Structure 1
């Protein structure tokens, strides 16, 4: 139901604008407007409290009963569109610190599963207990699977092998479409009267699988600023690990190192094992990963970080130089924020580039294209 302009402004500005807007509002709110106003005031009324404004302590009124947290969540889902709900929940968690949203299983169950909620759950994971942990794991898996679905088809198409133009496959992948072969195959079905080609058989090229796999080592900075990069890297690692062309190893680090290679095919387990926060000791992680390399000439080392080294920079420079001398393919993948904007130490990135590491700020799809270029 449409809301007129004066009512919309009243909802935006809150109850303290009532007296100023009343002349323009004519007949005032209907029942739906009142429910929307109460739901918005439940959250945004905290803004006034934060500025020292006392609650209204009048003796009584005919206002509806106060909302509980669970009832409030039900109300915003019924009253507002999905995009608005996500913004309201984001404000509740980030701006007003309503961590109780994540500590009650009944409340958590009602939150909209999305990347923002996933990010918050990972950040507060250490404070979750009991049934909330199981609920959080379920939400994380749901969001991770959605991210995987968005990435997997394109990545697999790019990295599943070169086109074999002498062989066809029953797999119908648009990127492998054999246009000339399809035309030749169906010429016998040309309808002379209609001057139309009837296509009954569509051909797709097969792809050659590489017999000797490449080693991919993903070394991921899990310091507090890296949460979005950790999420996408965990999903990307799972996709790569499912391809026969790669053996994937996964290492997370801050000032400590966690080797999660045995869980590389399970992004949820990787994310539940991540300990976001703390300092950054990149050189130590690079040295650890160098011990995992068996065939330097067929190894790609991907450092995913903001390059804000906490240890002396010379340690990191020396470690990366050693890998370059061993002819390991090196990529420094700059961290991206939730809007895919690069956020990293440009000076350190320049120094790493001078040692032989290619530096880039890539989305997961672009990372797949980069890997294809390197291993071709």
Structure 2
């Protein structure tokens, strides 16, 4: 069996063996391990699986044994993916009921998402361990984002002052072109840049309020995680006040917990309906200086309440000159599902609507708050 066929055989599972051939040795163990997890797709669809003599049904392998097998058979990157799917997609929360099992897991964002829904049901003896894992994941996310946010808010470019400090972020390409026109080579059609120009930066004074209004429905879990982390980072900037509310059909104000993203996240009650209008109306009462306020609603705009009330709330804030942004996702990528009609109507009222990764959101904030 060539490598390409082998990979397809492992991907398609044991039901492809008639066409692609069987697997033995280590490949056979990998196949059985994948079947233990992804064979659940048949169960979800009401299809009875063929439990052959070599199969791995739940009576033959338990999640903890499967976890150890997966770790020994697959590279770390594949193992983390399997672990994430086991927890997030197939709800193998038995993996999280034993402190010894938790020590075997590799902390990552998929695990954090599961912990958010599992924490309240966890045995008290593992709850502290769950918090340790969650804090580690959050620290990793904060370390990745902190530098981007600090850079975005380090100061705006001043095109009238020059700097001797070379930096890609401060590079002034217009001035560099003007300065080096004399070195233009007509034969190659290129300018040889002998002198590079950079802008200096001015420190901002930021008496701003940022209000984060976050949909806590199940599909927005990544956005909630990044919102909590961004709130903690932004709240540490001088002159910036951050307020944050979570909503489904009710509203939870977590503004007093933002210094600890984990406390914020443990306030989340994933699932439920969606009443965006109720949340935006609540947030209007948090605004004291509209001209110095940024309102960011993180949602898919699938309004379960009154679209008219939602649009009226957005219109009032736009008229008061609040800076408005509708974030369709606040994670590091992915194609968000959203209600195009309501999102389009919100954009027509003056709200900046789009999908932004956290670093782009930070840059957007820095620009409008300059």
Q: TM bucket by the smaller chain?
A: 0.7 to 0.9
Q: Which of 50, 60, 64 is matched with 1:70 structurally?
A: 64
Whole-angstrom distance in 2 between the partners of 1:48 and 1:257? 38
Q: Secondary structure at the match of 1:273?
A: coil
Q: Secondary structure at the match of 2:226?
A: helix
Whole-angstrom distance in 1 between the partners of 2:259 and 2:319? 31
Alpha-carbon deviations, 1:258-295, whole Å to 9, x = none? 11112222211111111111111112211211111121
Partner of 1:161: 155
Alpha-carbon deviations, 1:3-40, whole Å to 9, x = none? 96776666556567778777xx8xx844x445435534
Q: Secondary structure at the match of 1:309?
A: coil
Assess, with a 3 A threshold, how the Cα gap between structure 1 residues 224 and 11 changes in structure 2: closer, same or farther: closer
Partner of 2:321: 327
Q: Which of 276, 292, 301 is matched with 2:286 structurally?
A: 292
Whole-angstrom distance in 1 between the partners of 2:274 and 2:6? 51
Q: Secondary structure at the match of 2:356?
A: coil
How do 1:1-376 and structure 2 match up within 5 A?
11=10, 29-30=24-25, 32-33=26-27, 35-44=29-38, 51-53=47-49, 55-56=51-52, 66-162=60-156, 175=169, 208-335=202-329, 339-376=333-370
Partner of 1:185: none
Q: Secondary structure at the match of 1:320?
A: helix
CA contact (8 A) 1:336 1:343 kept: no
CA contact (8 A) 2:331 2:357 kept: no
Q: Secondary structure at the match of 1:216?
A: strand
Q: Secondary structure at the match of 2:231?
A: helix
CA displacement at 1:348 relative to structure 2: 0.7
Assess, with a 3 A threshold, how the Cα gap between structure 1 residues 161 and 55 changes in structure 2: closer, same or farther: same
CA contact (8 A) 1:330 1:356 kept: yes
Whole-angstrom distance in 2 between the partners of 1:353 and 1:324? 11
Larger CA Rg, structure 1 vs 2: 1
Q: Secondary structure at the match of 1:294?
A: coil
Q: Secondary structure at the match of 2:327?
A: strand
- The number of residue pairs the alignment matches comes to 341
CA displacement at 1:301 relative to structure 2: 1.0
Whole-angstrom distance in 2 between the partners of 1:10 and 1:363? 36
Partner of 1:62: none
Assess, with a 3 A threshold, how the Cα gap between structure 1 residues 262 and 167 changes in structure 2: closer, same or farther: farther
Higher mean Cα deviation, 44-53 or 247-256?
44-53
CA contact (8 A) 1:232 1:364 kept: yes
CA displacement at 1:131 relative to structure 2: 2.8
Assess, with a 3 A threshold, how the Cα gap between structure 1 residues 217 and 174 changes in structure 2: closer, same or farther: same
Q: Secondary structure at the match of 1:301?
A: strand
Residue segments in structure 1 that go unaligned for 5+ positions in a row: 59-64, 181-203
CA contact (8 A) 2:107 2:133 kept: yes
CA contact (8 A) 2:301 2:338 kept: yes
CA contact (8 A) 2:206 2:238 kept: no
Whole-angstrom distance in 2 between the partners of 1:16 and 1:361? 39
Residue segments in structure 2 that go unaligned for 5+ positions in a row: 176-197
CA displacement at 1:141 relative to structure 2: 1.6
Q: TM-score, normalised by structure 2?
A: 0.78
CA contact (8 A) 1:216 1:246 kept: yes
Assess, with a 3 A threshold, how the Cα gap between structure 1 residues 340 and 326 changes in structure 2: closer, same or farther: same
CA contact (8 A) 2:88 2:110 kept: no
Whole-angstrom distance in 1 between the partners of 2:224 and 2:8? 40
Whole-angstrom distance in 2 between the partners of 1:129 and 1:212? 45
Whole-angstrom distance in 2 between the partners of 1:91 and 1:220? 25
